[in-house]
Chains A and B, each alone.
Chain A
Amino acid sequence: MSGRFINIARWISRSRANGPGERFVLWVQGCGLACEGCWNPDTWSFAPRQLLTPDQLLREVDRAGGIEGITLSGGEPFTQAEALVPFVESVRSRGLSVLVFTGFERAELRSRVASRLLALTDVLVAGRYDHTQVAKGLRLLGSQNQRIHFLSGRYGPEDLDDVARCEAHIAPDGVVTWTGFPGEFVNE
């Protein structure tokens, strides 16, 4: 497996708000798309934040245990496709599924390396976040212009029925981290 580093913002070992079932969620660091109203602007910078090799990351996935798959979010996963491909290959070899959130439209993902990552992806949630079209109550979508592509036969729309809209993780020190789409909840 390649020893190339993946630049990471954070991860959580288990989430039910980022795709079907329990999922290991990885937010990569670095995104050049600059969507207005982006929920994770701290992930825009391409400066190294946490650099992990695919093997190191895989150990974290293995430690999570009992998960259905992984979700890549960000930041923009496709700008690190080269480093992510070997990691995702190993994830798939464990029988885990792969869901990717990208700010790119599907049609924009034409490069050789993007195609390799797409070939390893079960579900792709694609498109810029448009704050003028906030998607209330739509599973996995931040804004209504985004599209969900079921790329393998593994999942279909019905598999998203039980995906939580959002999740609050309260750390032992009382810090609350939201994941999923808490906007509707947090802002109301």
Chain B
Amino acid sequence: MSAYITVATPMIDRDLLLQALADVGFGEGRIVVSDEPLPLVGYEGSQRAQVANVIVRRQYLSAASNDLGFISTPTGYRLIVSDYDRPRFGATWLVQVSERYRAREAERDARLRAEELERERERKRQLVEAQRSAIEAKAKRLGYSVTVERNQEKVRLVLVRRTY
């Protein structure tokens, strides 16, 4: 029976970890995800003492592999890998996964920033529209004729009132 070792990682976000694993060939269907840690299964089919929240089942690793898993901890996921699988799924592989994790993290952050910017833009658009409609309504009430002109995100209201 192969012994397991654990390796601490700074990867803390489950979705990003799953995306990173998918990027290195372990996509949906090859992974078991559970909030409650589940036991890993050894190459001969028996449950091991080690548990993990994200598990790559052994049949997707190689013929004689044991399950490989990631257990969630407050400081990040820990990789749990058997001695047998360590040459292929040890430090070098973990570097690949971590790189993909960081790339996915950067993508997500850029997306969140873009969404935040868009929300901010929309908030300003609504503010400009609120100002426009308030001024326009008041101007009309006071008898002005109003021309509204837009130049990109700027708005100009020209208020004319003929007195003759």
Is A172 part of the binding interface, using a Cβ–Cβ cutoff of 8 Å?
Answer: yes
Assess the B159–A174 pair: CB atoms within 8 A: no
Assess the B154–A171 pair: CB atoms within 8 A: yes
Assess the B139–A185 pair: CB atoms within 8 A: yes
Chain B contacts of A52 at CB under 8 A? Answer: none
Is B132 part of the binding interface, using a Cβ–Cβ cutoff of 8 Å?
Answer: yes
Assess the A185–B159 pair: CB atoms within 8 A: yes
Choose, from B36-44, B56-64, B123-131, the stretch at the interface: B123-131
Report, as a range, how many residues of chain B touch the other chain: 20 to 34
Is B110 part of the binding interface, using a Cβ–Cβ cutoff of 8 Å?
Answer: no
Please tell me which one of the listed residues B135, B138, B160 contacts residue A165 in the complex, with CB atoms under 8 A apart: B160
Assess the B158–A167 pair: CB atoms within 8 A: yes
Assess the A170–B154 pair: CB atoms within 8 A: yes
Please tell me which one of the listed residues A165, A167, A185 contacts residue B156 in the complex, with CB atoms under 8 A apart: A167
Interface residues of A in 85-144 (CB under 8 A from B): 137
A169-B144 contact, Cβ under 8 Å, with A174-B131, A185-B159: no
Interface string of A144-170 (1 = CB under 8 A from B): 000000000000000001101111111
Please tell me which one of the listed residues A16, A173, A176, A188 contacts residue B135 in the complex, with CB atoms under 8 A apart: A176
Assess the B156–A168 pair: CB atoms within 8 A: yes
A169-B131 contact, Cβ under 8 Å, with A137-B163, A185-B144, A185-B159: no
Q: What separation, in Å, do the CA atoms of A167 and B153 have in the docked complex? A: 17
Is A25 part of the binding interface, using a Cβ–Cβ cutoff of 8 Å?
Answer: no
Is A17 part of the binding interface, using a Cβ–Cβ cutoff of 8 Å?
Answer: yes
Q: What separation, in Å, do the CA atoms of A16 and B146 have in the docked complex? A: 12
Interface residues of B in 125-153 (CB under 8 A from A): 127-128, 130-132, 135, 138-139, 142, 144, 152-153
Is B108 part of the binding interface, using a Cβ–Cβ cutoff of 8 Å?
Answer: no
Is B155 part of the binding interface, using a Cβ–Cβ cutoff of 8 Å?
Answer: yes
Say how far B156's CB is from chain A's closest CB, in angstroms.
5
Chain B contacts of A165 at CB under 8 A? Answer: 144, 159-161
Chain B contacts of A169 at CB under 8 A? Answer: 154-156
Is B117 part of the binding interface, using a Cβ–Cβ cutoff of 8 Å?
Answer: no
Closest to B132 in A: A170
Beyond the given pairs A170-B154, A170-B156, A185-B144, 19 more chain A to chain B contacts, judged by CB atoms under 8 angstroms and listed by A's residue number, are: A14-B156, A161-B164, A162-B160, A165-B159, A165-B160, A165-B161, A166-B159, A167-B159, A169-B154, A170-B128, A170-B131, A170-B155, A172-B152, A174-B130, A174-B131, A176-B131, A182-B159, A185-B138, A185-B142
List the 5 closest A-B pairs by CB distance, nearest first.
A174-B127, A172-B153, A170-B155, A137-B163, A168-B157
